[in-house]
Amino acid sequence: MSVSESASTRRFIGARQEGRQSYWRRLDWLLLGSALLLSVGSSVFVWSASRSDLAGDDPQYFLNRHLVNIVIGLVLAFVVSRLDYRLLRAYSPVIYGLAIIGILLVYTPLGTTIAGARAWVQVPGGFTLQPSEFAKVAIVLILAVILAEKRDAEAEPRDRDVALALGLAAIPIGLVLLQNDTGTVLIMCTIVITMVAVSGARTRWVAGLLVGGATAAVVAWQLGLVKDYQIARLTSFVNPDEAASTAAYNANQARIAIGGGGMWGRGLFQGPQTQGNFVPVNESDFIFTVIGEEAGFVGAAITIILLSIVLWRGMRIAMGAGELYGRLVAAGVVAWLAFQTFENIGMNLGIMPITGVPLPFVSYGGTSMFASWIALGLLENVRLHREQQP
């Protein structure tokens, strides 16, 4: 964010100066602390999972990058938490537009296919970004603007607003669906349904969305719109012992790893499944497997508890938000983090289909880490905004 002498920027700086004495005090430290503990604590498991991945090269390559990602994430969270609401609302369409462009970039020569999903963009410096992660942020912001438009004190959004919101959300969701990134589509749909619901929209909208979503899934299945490997990924958790498909293999290996962890785990660097690289992408999508194997039930449960604290604090912020816009942002973020957490850990534990979604704050991966911390920054922002209200 470049600093320019625009009116809004001046307001932003003004707000910062206003809250200088109280900014740190007014932060939700429990929320920040839990997220920080998750990110920093998980780095040892990223190290454990990845140190053999570059045989002959730097074994701490992934660890170092992970730590850099966390620092960048913290900076992003700090900036986002201090952005003025009006600025956020004003720039939401821009962010939305950038997100759409980002997703479209995937189809240019810059795009890269990883694990069956064409969802990454190559950026200079050897980095890859996943625009769909940022698109989640964009959906939260643009939906909050539209659903809270003009009637912060009114009872419910107009049907026109809801329809517009759905229409705007449908564009990135459709594009991501075309990239075969099923997991992100599911998360985006959850965000949309949650935000429509929390906006106070008529029940028929909520019910319609739930029924429509379910129907779409069934129809897509029946019409074969979902590619075979997507079905394999989605159904492998039903028949885990049929290790014919790669997906079933992954699910099986993940459960062997976690199940073998027991109460206290095998010890750091001691997990046979982790060290043998039996579980794929175990520094990112399957990082929970590493925690479960090497730190056991204790470590895995602490991870879930810390994530629960993040969600709990998010819920509190949503509940206590002084205006609908803030509540919608917080609720969208909580729904996003909650469903992504459930989907990720659920697939690690073999009760959810395998879709390549990372675990917020924990998984290795720049874009995901940045998005998680931006989400946290949004939550803190909503909280600070309420505190600022008289």
By CB under 8 A, name the binding residues for another protein.
Answer: 52, 152-153, 155-156, 194, 197-200, 206, 249, 253, 255-263, 272-273, 275-280, 292-293, 296-297, 300-301, 304, 307-308, 311, 315, 318-319, 323-324, 327, 331, 334-335, 338-339, 341-342, 345-346, 349-351
Q: CB neighbours of 63 closer than 8 A, spacing ≥ 6?
A: 43, 46, 47, 50, 51
Q: Which DSSP string do the residues of 154-214 spell out, in sequence order? A: SSS--HHHHHHHHHHHHHHHHHHHHTT-HHHHHHHHHHHHHHHHHTT--HHHHHHHHHHHH
User: Smallest distance from the beta carbon of 130 to another protein, in angstroms?
Assistant: 24
Phi-psi region at 350: left, alpha or beta (left = phi > 0; alpha = psi -120 to 50): left
User: Smallest distance from the beta carbon of 183 to another protein, in angstroms?
Assistant: 16
Residue 310 near residue 380, CB atoms below 8 Å: no
Residue 352 near residue 338, CB atoms below 8 Å: no
The C-alpha torsion from 191 through 222 and 246 to 292, rounded to 10°, is 30
Q: Which is nearer to another protein, 229 or 249 (CB)?
A: 249
Q: Which is nearer to another protein, 95 or 307 (CB)?
A: 307
How far is residue 369's CA from residue 71's CA, in Å, rounded to a whole number? 10
Q: Which is nearer to another protein, 69 or 252 (CB)?
A: 252
User: Smallest distance from the beta carbon of 157 to another protein, in angstroms?
Assistant: 10
Torsion sign (Cα): 32, 285, 236, 214: positive
User: Smallest distance from the beta carbon of 273 to another protein, in angstroms?
Assistant: 5
Q: Which is nearer to another protein, 182 or 273 (CB)?
A: 273
Q: Which is nearer to another protein, 325 or 373 (CB)?
A: 325
Residue 268 near residue 298, CB atoms below 8 Å: no
Q: Which is nearer to another protein, 300 or 369 (CB)?
A: 300
What is residue 358's DSSP assignment? P
How far is residue 175's CA from residue 254's CA, in Å, rounded to a whole number? 30
Q: Which is nearer to another protein, 347 or 374 (CB)?
A: 347
How far is residue 273's CA from residue 58's CA, in Å, rounded to a whole number? 21
